[in-house]
Structure formats: C-alpha cells, structure tokens
C-alpha cells in the first residue's frame, strides 16, 4: 500500500501551526520571564523592607525597584517633612542622573486638594498636560527633558501622605495602567516600611534616652522582663558590685545580697512578678572589694501596655545605709531616754503611794496624793506614746501576737480606765463572742486611748458607751461620748500624727499622737478606724478587726 | 519566819523604795546594784524570790535569769523580771522567768506579785 499523501500535507499545516505556537511560546516565555523578574524585584525590595531598618536604604531599594519595574528613566522619592503636606524634600534618586535642583514636584501637585493628593498621577505626554505639570521655577518639565511622568503617594494607615514616589521618562507614552498598578503596589510596601522604621527609630531613641538617663543619676537602676529576668543594670550597679552584666543578669544579682536577706528578697520579688504589684523592700547589698554590706531600699514598678499587660519592670536601689544607721541611733536614743525618764517616775510613784498609805482615809492630803498619782501615770503614758511614735515611724513597733477572747479585752480595758474616773461611767453594750488573733496589749492600748479621749472631750457628760458587735468578717467596736464633738472638716485629719483640733488646743492638753498610734495599731491588724461626730453633741469612734477564718467563736 | 526577797536593780533609788515597801510587808530584803557573784550570794543567803531588773550590769537580767533557770541549785527560785520595757511580758517569758512587774508600778501590784510567787513555791 502506498503511503498516504495526507501526511506530508498535514505536516506542512502542522509546521505552520508549530511555528506560530513556538513564537507564541517564546513570547509568553519572555513575558513570563519578565513577570518573574518583576516579582523577583518586588520580592527583593520587600526583603529589604523587612530586614532593614534604615529608612534611606529602604527607600533606595523601593525607588530602584520602581524605576526598573516601570521602565522609567529616572525615579525619586520625596519625603514629606511637614504635617501640612506642603514641604517635600528629595530623599533618594535612581536611574539616569539628573541635576537634583531641577527635580522638583510640580506646584499643582503640592497644592492640589486631598482628592488629587491621594491618587497616582500619570501623564504620557506632559506637553499636552502642561498646565498640571509645571515645576515651581516656572519651567515646564518638558524643558528639563521629560515627557512621561508618574507620581504615586505613599499613604500611611491613618491616611497621611508620608511622601511621593516620582518616575519620569524622556519619551512619551512610557507609563500605562500596568506601570501604575506596579507602582501602587510599591507605594503600599513603602508606606509599611516607613511606618515600621519610624516606630523602631522612636523606640530606639526612647531606649537610648532611658539608658543615658539611667547612667546619669546616682541611683542604681535596673530593668526586668515581664517574667522577672533582669535584663539591664546601669553603670552604678556594676561599679557598686564590681561585677559584670553577665554575672548579674537574670537572677545573678541575688549573689550580692546579704545571706540573711536572700530568701525574703527572692520571695517578695517572685510575688511581685506573679501579682504585678509594685515591689518594695529593704535589703543589704555587698559592695565591691569590701566585706561590708550596705542597706538599700529596692523598689520596682511594672510598666504596662495599653491592655494592662506587664511589658517591663523598672527598678531602683537607693543606698539608705546612713539613714538606717541614724535611725538605729535615734531608736536607741529614744529607748534609753524613755527608760531614763521612767526610772525617777518609778521612784516618785512608789513614794507618793507610800505617803498615801500613811494618811488616814478621807483626808484632803490623801486626795491630793491620789491626784498626783494620776498625773504621774499620765506623764508615764506620754513617754510611752513618744517611744511608740518613734517606733512606728521606723516601722518597728513590736507586736506580740496571740489568740484571745475579744470580750475579755473589752472588760480589761474598762477595768483599767474606770477606777481613774471621777464621774463618768463606762457602759458596755453587746458582745463579740469571738476569739481574735492579735497583740492583746496593743489593742487594749487602742481601747484605753478611745476611752480617755471620750472622757477628756466630754467634761459635761457622765457616761461613755462601748458597743461591741460582730459579723462574719470582723468584730466592730464603737466608743460613744456625749461631749463637744468634732467639726466635719476636721474629722478626716483626726487620725493624723500630731494633729489636734485647733480650737480645743488651749482647753485640752495632749500631744495629738494617741489616735495616730491607735490607727497604726489597728492598721497593723488589717483593721479600720473611723469617726462619726456631730459638733456639740458628741463623737463615736470606731475600730474593726477582721476575724481570721480558722478562729472559733468564744464559748 | 519571814521570807527573803532579793532585789537586783542598778538604780539605787528604786532599790531603796522597793525595799521599804517590801520590808513594811514583813519581808527580809537584800539589794544589789549588779549581778556579779549572784550564785555566791545565793549560796550564802538563799532568797525565796528574786526581783530582777532587765538592764542590770553586766550581762542583763534576761541572761542572768536564763542562767539561774539552767542551774539545778537555783532553778526553783522564782524570778520576777522588773522593767520599764514595753515588751517586758514577752522578754520575761522568753527568759523563763516566773513573772514580771512593769515600772512604774502600783505598790499593791508589787506586793501581790511577790506574794503570788511565794504561794506558788509553797504549793509546789
């Protein structure tokens, strides 16, 4: 059988098709290659944007990519340096070199309204569009040698024009919708890059600002991460301890703590980190090349972000060694002074009582001696109060905690005060029926203070009421008198140290520290003190002590 | 037979007036301004109760009390800590003393405290 002729025919046809196909393929391959190149350019640019934080470098790569992608002869970036958007400076330039001074944004663009401002402006032949594209020197851009022209705004997330990408070509018809699209993609990248680097820059300058501040103050300064890891110590820290940052970082700083302070300091720091509450503690730190430790006041505050999360701890250590030693001396002095004052009082009191015994009942002399004895007691309690105030200020009023029946305390306090009274009767109403935990002697002191105030400021009255009550949280005491009362404006200050209601100062003696001591004692029991008073009618002084859950009611 | 009270206090005025009060009550009183040789003194003149100032030279009343309480010869003698110190109750307890008396004192309280110590000893 003869071979068919249709085969070569069809081959011819196929050859034609194939050639066209190949041409088409080559074309497509070329445009694919071009696309790939474009993509690669975009990618490279995006990489620079992400990896680099130098604005100049980023914008250069944006402009380089833009110039290549759009086929522009020259590309440039104008940075908006002014909020009003009317001041642009040439920042980076790419492509054919052009005299920089002639490379200026046209007035029409700068002064155009928002609508024009936020769009890509494109002209394929500026000789036609001359009105819109004049430069500020009055020369047309064509005069400089441009025909194609394209300006794309770089707009921030908040809609602010950060700058403009500028592309030109000497030939007309260079920029089409495709170039416009590519450039608008670029400008979006550029906007992100600019904003990120600005943010980083401001953060870095903040950090630098903080560091230079930290180095310039005499205090020892440190910062910690949110997990409590210490990540910065200023120079003063390193100098004082004679150690390096590597030695101290993390929890390394604990090795300069006095052995007796390590446990409580770590415990308190951990608690602060866990709770997010501020840290404050006094501890001793070892000085470089010395065997002695110096007392420091350590403080740290958490720095939180807008959503309230801790992002950093900011801490300081202040050398309080000298104050601490002075404080100790002052305490010692007060201790000795009060002891020395009490010694003669002890003898006087004993002799007065011996004298009293020698006299027959109902004699005037015996009455006088009885009064003298009362004043001796007052003098003694004033000395004790002064000692207490000095100890409260130093934060070392000693407490001896025990568990006791609250009603017994009330009874004891009344029994202590009642015998010294001339006409007042103390009446107890209600009972707590509760065991409480606290310093019995100190709480009795609060009672005695409330009662003596009630009596002192109610000279016309003859009774004082004590009301005792309790709920499931606390025991509450009210001491009510029917005396002169306290003006409203003075009621808040009444528990302050050395505060005395001025109008009464001349009529009533006292140092103005009794209620201060009472409120401090109650505070240490985690309780509250307050007052309710009407001028001319009387006052009710309250205090409450929380009940610990594990304690039973009294039997 | 009258009971023996030993008073140790570095302040002579307090020693004197305290002695007067207790003597009027019928006690035999011996007074000392320090605690040196206290064991020897106890040996020659054994007290039925000791009133001990906290700030006594050289070693302080609390330490002396601890020493007395750690010796078989003296541990039965009641010791009352005598001081103007606010924390006297705790200090007395920690030292192992039998009681305390705060300065300044009511003479009735002094008499009662000494008496209660002696009652305690005789009931033992």
Q: In this predicted model, what pLDDT tens digit does every residue of A406-427 receive, in sequence order?
A: 999 999 899 888 888 889 999 9
Residues 432-461, chain A: which have Cβ within 8 Å of B? 441
H/E stretch holding B52 reads strand B49-53
Interface test with B, best of A332, A345, A347 (most B CBs within 10 A): A347
The answer to whether the bond into B104 is cis (omega within 30° of 0) is yes
Residue A307, phi then psi, degrees to nearest 5: -90, 10
CA A390 to chain centre: 32
Is the CB of residue A225 less than 8 Å away from at least one CB of chain B?
Answer: no
Q: Do B90 and A400 touch (CB under 8 A)?
A: yes
Give B9 to chain A, closest Cα distance, Å. Answer: 11
Residue numbers in A near B84 (CB within 8 A): 338-339, 342-343, 346
- Band of the pLDDT at A7, cuts 50, 70, 90? very low
pLDDT at A210 over 90: no
Q: Which of A342, A387, A388 sits opposite B103 (nearest CB)?
A: A342
Q: Do B84 and A339 touch (CB under 8 A)?
A: yes
Q: Do B85 and A347 touch (CB under 8 A)?
A: no
Interface test with A, best of B104, B105, B110, B114 (most A CBs within 10 A): B104
- Mention every residue, 6+ apart, whose C-beta is less than 8 A from residue A193: A49, A55, A58, A59, A62
**A349: nearest CA in chain B?**
B104
Q: Do B87 and A344 touch (CB under 8 A)?
A: no
Is the CB of residue A379 less than 8 Å away from at least one CB of chain B?
Answer: no
Q: Which of B84, B89, B106 sits opposite A342 (nearest CB)?
A: B84
What order of strands is seen across the sheet that includes strand B4-8?
B28-32, B4-8, B49-53, B79-83, B99-102
Question: Mean pLDDT throughout B64-73?
Answer: 94
Q: Which of A342, A350, A398 sits opposite B17 (nearest CB)?
A: A350
Phi-psi region of A265 (alpha: psi -120 to 50; beta: other; left: phi over 0): alpha
Minimum mean pLDDT among A89-93, A250-254, B119-123: which range?
A89-93
Question: Mean pLDDT throughout B11-21?
Answer: 95
Residue B82 in tokens? 């005598």
Q: What is the CA radius of gyration of chain A?
A: 44
Q: Do B13 and A344 touch (CB under 8 A)?
A: yes
Strands A293-304 and A279-286: antiparallel
Strands B49-53 and B79-83: parallel
Interface test with B, best of A343, A369, A401 (most B CBs within 10 A): A343
Q: Which long-range contacts (CB under 8 A, 24 or more apart) does A40-45 make?
A: A41/A65, A41/A68, A41/A69, A42/A69, A42/A185, A42/A186, A42/A189, A45/A186, A45/A189
Whether the CB-CB separation of A185 and A177 falls below 8 Å is answered with no
pLDDT at A550 over 90: no
Residue B47 exposure: Cα atoms within 13 Å on the Cβ side: 28
Is the CB of residue B90 less than 8 Å away from at least one CB of chain A?
Answer: yes
Q: Do A350 and B104 touch (CB under 8 A)?
A: yes
Mean pLDDT of chain B: 92
Nearest by Cα to A469 from A403, A544, A531? A544
DSSP structure class, residue A103:
-
- Band of the pLDDT at A2, cuts 50, 70, 90? very low
- Mention every residue, 6+ apart, whose C-beta is less than 8 A from residue A392: A516, A517, A520
Minimum mean pLDDT among A49-63, A89-103, A266-280, A534-548: which range?
A89-103
SS (H, E, C) A28-66: HHHHHHHHHHHHHHHHHHHHHHHHCCCHHHHHHHHHHHH
Residue numbers in B near A339 (CB within 8 A): 55, 84-85
Nearest by Cα to B101 from B91, B90, B112, B110? B110
DSSP structure class, residue A300:
E
Select the highest-mean-pLDDT range: A21-25, A175-179, A244-248: A244-248
Question: For A217-244, where are the alpha helices, taking DSSP H only?
Answer: 235-241
Exposure b/e, A52-73, CB count within 10 A at least 16 = b = ebebebbbbbbbbbbbbbbbbb
Give CA–CA dist B39/B74, Å, rounded: 8
Residue linked to tokens 């006095």: A258
Q: In this predicted model, what pLDDT tens digit does every residue of A156-167 receive, in sequence order?
A: 877 777 888 888
Minimum mean pLDDT among A12-16, B9-13, B14-18, B83-87: which range?
A12-16
Q: Which of B14, B85, B89 sits opposite A347 (nearest CB)?
A: B14
pLDDT at A6 over 60: no
Question: For chain B, where are the alpha helices, taking DSSP H only?
Answer: 12-24, 38-44, 61-70, 88-95, 107-123
Is the CB of residue A380 less than 8 Å away from at least one CB of chain B?
Answer: yes
Q: Do B104 and A346 touch (CB under 8 A)?
A: yes
Question: Mean pLDDT throughout A173-186?
Answer: 83
Q: Which of A346, A376, A398 sits opposite B87 (nearest CB)?
A: A398
Higher pLDDT pick, A260 / A170? A260
Give CA–CA dist A453/A426, Å, rounded: 13
Sign of the dihedral through C-alpha A420, A424, A425, A429: negative
Is the CB of residue A400 less than 8 Å away from at least one CB of chain B?
Answer: yes
DSSP code string of A455-487: HHT-TT--EEEEEEEE-SSEEEEEEE--SS---
Give the ipTM. 0.92
Give B73 to chain A, closest Cα distance, Å. Answer: 32
Sign of the dihedral through C-alpha A412, A530, A510, A390: positive
Is the CB of residue B11 less than 8 Å away from at least one CB of chain A?
Answer: yes
Predicted confidence at residue B72, as pLDDT, reads 92
């Amino acid at each position: 059988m003869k071979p068919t002729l249709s085969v070569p025919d069809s081959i011819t046809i196929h050859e034609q098709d194939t050639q066209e196909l190949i041409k088409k393929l080559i074309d497509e391959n070329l445009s694919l290659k071009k696309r790939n190149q474009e993509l690669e350019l975009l990618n490279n640019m995006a990489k620079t944007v992400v990896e680099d934080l130098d604005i100049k470098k980023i914008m250069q790569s944006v402009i380089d990519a833009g110039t290549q992608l759009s086929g522009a002869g020259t590309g440039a970036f104008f940075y908006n340096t002014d909020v009003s958007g009317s001041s642009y400076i040439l920042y980076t330039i790419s492509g054919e070199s052009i005299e920089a001074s002639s490379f200026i944004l046209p007035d029409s663009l700068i002064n155009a309204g928002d609508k024009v401002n936020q769009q890509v402006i494109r002209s394929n032949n500026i000789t036609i569009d001359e009105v819109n594209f004049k430069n500020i020197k009055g020369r047309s851009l064509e005069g400089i040698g441009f025909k194609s022209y394209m300006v794309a705004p770089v707009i921030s997330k908040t809609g602010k024009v950060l700058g403009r990408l500028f592309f030109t070509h000497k030939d007309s018809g260079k920029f089409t919708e495709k170039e416009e699209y590519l450039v608008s993609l670029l400008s979006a990248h550029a906007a992100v890059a600019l904003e990120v680097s600005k943010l980083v820059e401001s953060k870095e300058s903040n950090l630098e600002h903080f560091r230079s501040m930290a180095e310039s103050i005499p205090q020892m300064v440190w910062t910690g991460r949110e997990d409590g890891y210490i990540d910065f110590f200023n120079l003063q820290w390193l100098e004082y301890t004679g150690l390096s940052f590597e030695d101290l970082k993390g929890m390394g700083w604990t090795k300069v703590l006095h052995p007796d302070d390590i446990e409580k300091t770590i415990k308190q720091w951990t608690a602060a980190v866990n709770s997010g509450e501020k840290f404050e503690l006094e501890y001793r730190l070892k000085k470089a090349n010395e065997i002695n430790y110096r007392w420091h006041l350590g403080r740290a505050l958490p720095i939180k972000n807008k959503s309230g999360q801790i992002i950093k701890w900011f801490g300081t250590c202040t050398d309080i060694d000298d104050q601490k030693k002075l404080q100790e001396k002052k305490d010692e002095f007060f201790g000795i002074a009060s002891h020395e004052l009490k010694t003669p009082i002890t003898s006087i009191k004993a002799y007065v009582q011996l004298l009293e015994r020698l006299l027959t009942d109902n004699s005037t002399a015996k009455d006088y001696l009885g009064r003298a004895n009362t004043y001796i007691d007052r003098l003694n309690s004033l000395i004790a109060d002064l000692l207490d105030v000095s100890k409260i200020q130093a934060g070392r009023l000693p407490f001896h905690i025990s568990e006791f029946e609250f009603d017994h305390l009330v009874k004891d306090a009344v029994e202590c005060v009642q015998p010294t009274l001339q006409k007042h009767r103390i009446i107890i109403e209600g009972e707590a029926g509760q065991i409480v935990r606290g310093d019995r002697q100190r709480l009795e002191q609060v009672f005695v203070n409330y009662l003596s105030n009630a009596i002192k400021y109610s000279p016309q009255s003859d009774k004082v009421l004590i009301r005792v009550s309790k709920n499931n949280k606390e025991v509450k005491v009210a001491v009510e008198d029917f005396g002169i009362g306290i003006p409203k404006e003075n009621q808040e200050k009444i528990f302050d140290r050395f505060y005395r209601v001025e109008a009464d100062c001349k009529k009533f003696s006292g140092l103005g520290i009794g209620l201060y001591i009472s409120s401090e004692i109650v505070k240490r029991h985690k309780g509250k003190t307050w007052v309710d008073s009407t001028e001319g009618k009387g006052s009710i002084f309250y205090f409450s002590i929380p009940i610990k859950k594990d304690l039973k009611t009294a039997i | 037979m009258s009971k023996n009270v030993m008073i140790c206090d570095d302040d002579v005025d307090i020693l004197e007036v305290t002695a007067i009060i207790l003597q009027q009550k019928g006690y035999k009183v011996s007074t000392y301004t320090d605690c040196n040789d206290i064991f020897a003194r106890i040996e020659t003149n054994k007290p039925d109760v000791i009133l001990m100032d906290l700030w006594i030279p050289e070693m302080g009343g609390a330490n002396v009390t601890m020493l007395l309480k750690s010796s078989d010869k003296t541990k039965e003698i009641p010791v009352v800590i005598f001081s103007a110190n606010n924390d006297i109750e705790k200090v007395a307890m920690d030292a192992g003393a039998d009681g305390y008396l705060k300065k300044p004192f009511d003479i009735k309280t002094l008499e009662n405290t000494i008496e209660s110590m002696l009652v305690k000893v005789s009931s033992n």
